[in-house]
Structure 1
Amino acid sequence: MRVLVAGAHGQVGRHVVRLLAEHEDHEPVGLVRKQEYVDDVASWGGEPVRGDVTDRESLDSAFADCDAVVFAAGSSGEDVWGVDRDGAMACVDAAEATDTERFVMLSAMNADQPQESPEALREYLRAKAAADDYLRESELTYTVVRPGALSDDPGTGRIRVGADLDRDDATIPREDTAATLVETLTVEETNGTTFELLRGDTAIETALRGLDS
C-alpha cells in the first residue's frame, strides 16, 4: 500500500514514516512543507514530496497514485483553524479528487467534548472536531484515532482503545500512537470508526480487531 503521510516531519509523523518503511507491504510517501525536511524523510525510508496542507492546489500531485493517507499534521497551537481544521479538510478533498480511498485521521481525545479540557485547548479541540466531522461526511473509508496526551516514552506495543475510555492514565507514547495509525490502515474492523487511544495492556492489532465486538 502506497501511503501518503501528511505531517511527515512532525513528532508522530516521523514515526509513521519509519514504521511504514519497515513494513514489507507499505510504501511511505512523506508530505513536507519545507525543502530542508526532504533529506530527513528520505533517511527514515520515505519518499519525500513537497506540499502544504494550507495550500490546496499543492496537494493533488502529492496524493497522486497513493492508496491511503495518514493525516498527522498539526499546528502546535499556532494556527489551529488553518492547519488542524482547514488543512485536514484540504487533504480530505485531495484524497477524494485523486481516488485515494483510505484515510486515517490523527485527532485528539475530547475533540467531541472540548468543555472537558483546559480552556487553552478548547479552540484546538473544536478545530479537530470540525475536521473529524468533515472526514466522516466524505465518501472515503475513514478511521478517526483520538489519542490522549502524547508522550516521548518508548513505545510498548500495547494499548487501550474504545469509544469512551477511563481517563485514569490519559497518556500514550507517540511511538505507540504511530504504530496504531499504521496498523489501522489494514484492520477492517477500524473502517468507519472513531475511537480513543491510551496506553494499555493489549497488543495493538488485537485491540483494534476487538473494536467491532
Structure 2
Amino acid sequence: MKVFVIGSHGQIGKLLVDLLVARGDEVVAAIRDEKQAPEMEERGAAVQIFDLMSQPDEMAKAIGNADAVVFTAGSGGATGYDQTLMIDLDGAVKSMLASKIAGVTRFVLVSAMNSENPEKWTEEIKPYYVAKYFADNYLENQTDLDYTIVKPGILTNEPGKGGVLIGEDHGSISRQDVAEVVAETLHHDNTIKKSFSVVEGAQPISEGISDIQ
C-alpha cells in the first residue's frame, strides 16, 4: 500500500512512518520544509513537499497516485488560534478535497476524543476542539471518501503498551500506540466509514481494530 502521510514530521507522524515502512508499505512523507527531507529519507520514506496553505489542486499533484492518505498534522500548542483553524480545520478539509481530486478514496484522520461532544471541551484548547469538530463533520457528511476518524485520548510520550480500549470517552494513550492504531486501521477495511475513540487498554491493538463494527 502506498500511503501519503500528512504531518509526517510530527510526533505521531514519525512513529507512523516507521511502522508503515516496517510493514512493507510504500510511504510518502509530506513535508513543508526541504530541511526535513534527510531525516524522513533515513526512515525509509520518499518525501514530497506539501503546503497546507496551498490550494487543493496543487495539493492533489503532491498526493499523486497514493492508495491512502493519513492526516495527522496539527498546529501544536505553541501557535495561536488562527493557526489552529488554518491547519487543523482548513488544512484538513483541503487535504480531503485534494485526495478526491487525486482519485484517492481512503482517508484516515487523526482527531481527538470528545471532538463530537462540545459539553466536554476544555476552555483552554477550545479552538482545537472546534477545528476537530468541523473537520470530522466535513469528512463524514460532505465527502464520499472511505474515511476512518481515529479519536485518541490524552496523548502521552510513554512507550507503547500495545493494548487499547475502543469507545471510551476518557483516558490516555501513548503516541506510539496511536501510530500503531492508525497503521492497523489502514489495513482493516472494517474501519471504513467509522469513527472511534481509543485509549490505553488490555486488548491487543490488532484485535481491537479487527473488532470494530
TM range (shorter): over 0.9
Determine if the alignment matches structure 1 residue 54 to structure 2 residue 53.
Answer: yes
Unaligned residue ranges in structure 1 (runs of 5+): none
TM-score between both structures, scaled by the size of structure 1:
0.94
> How many aligned positions are there?
207
2: CA distance between counterparts of 1:201 and 1:43?
A: 33
TM-score between both structures, scaled by the size of structure 2:
0.94
1: CA distance between counterparts of 2:45 and 2:7?
A: 12
1:74-118, Cα deviation, whole Å (9 max, x unpaired): 001421110000000010001000111100000001111133132
Instruction: Report what 2:153 is aligned to.
Output: 148
2: CA distance between counterparts of 1:58 and 1:154?
A: 37
Instruction: Report what 2:100 is aligned to.
Output: 96
| 8 Å CA contact retained: 2:5, 2:28 | yes
Given residue 55 of structure 1, which amino acid in structure 2 is its aligned partner?
A: S
1: CA distance between counterparts of 2:6 and 2:72?
A: 6
1: CA distance between counterparts of 2:40 and 2:12?
A: 13
Given residue 203 of structure 2, which amino acid in structure 1 is its aligned partner?
A: T
| 8 Å CA contact retained: 1:105, 1:145 | yes
Pairwise CA RMSD of aligned residues?
1.1
1: CA distance between counterparts of 2:59 and 2:181?
A: 25
| 8 Å CA contact retained: 1:114, 1:121 | no
Instruction: Report what 1:11 is aligned to.
Output: 11
2: CA distance between counterparts of 1:9 and 1:131?
A: 21
1: CA distance between counterparts of 2:62 and 2:16?
A: 17
2: CA distance between counterparts of 1:107 and 1:166?
A: 13
Could you list the structure 1 runs, at least 4 aligned residues long, displaced by more than 4 angstroms after superposition: none
Q: Which segment is superposed worse, 85-94 or 182-191?
A: 182-191
2: CA distance between counterparts of 1:121 and 1:115?
A: 13
Give aligned-pair identity as a percent. 34
Given residue 17 of structure 2, which amino acid in structure 1 is its aligned partner?
A: V
2: CA distance between counterparts of 1:109 and 1:33?
A: 27
After TM superposition, list the pairs within 5 Å mapping 1:163-202 onto structure 2: 165=168, 167=170, 170-202=171-203
2: CA distance between counterparts of 1:133 and 1:27?
A: 29
2: CA distance between counterparts of 1:46 and 1:69?
A: 14
Unaligned residue ranges in structure 2 (runs of 5+): none
Given residue 30 of structure 1, which amino acid in structure 2 is its aligned partner?
A: A
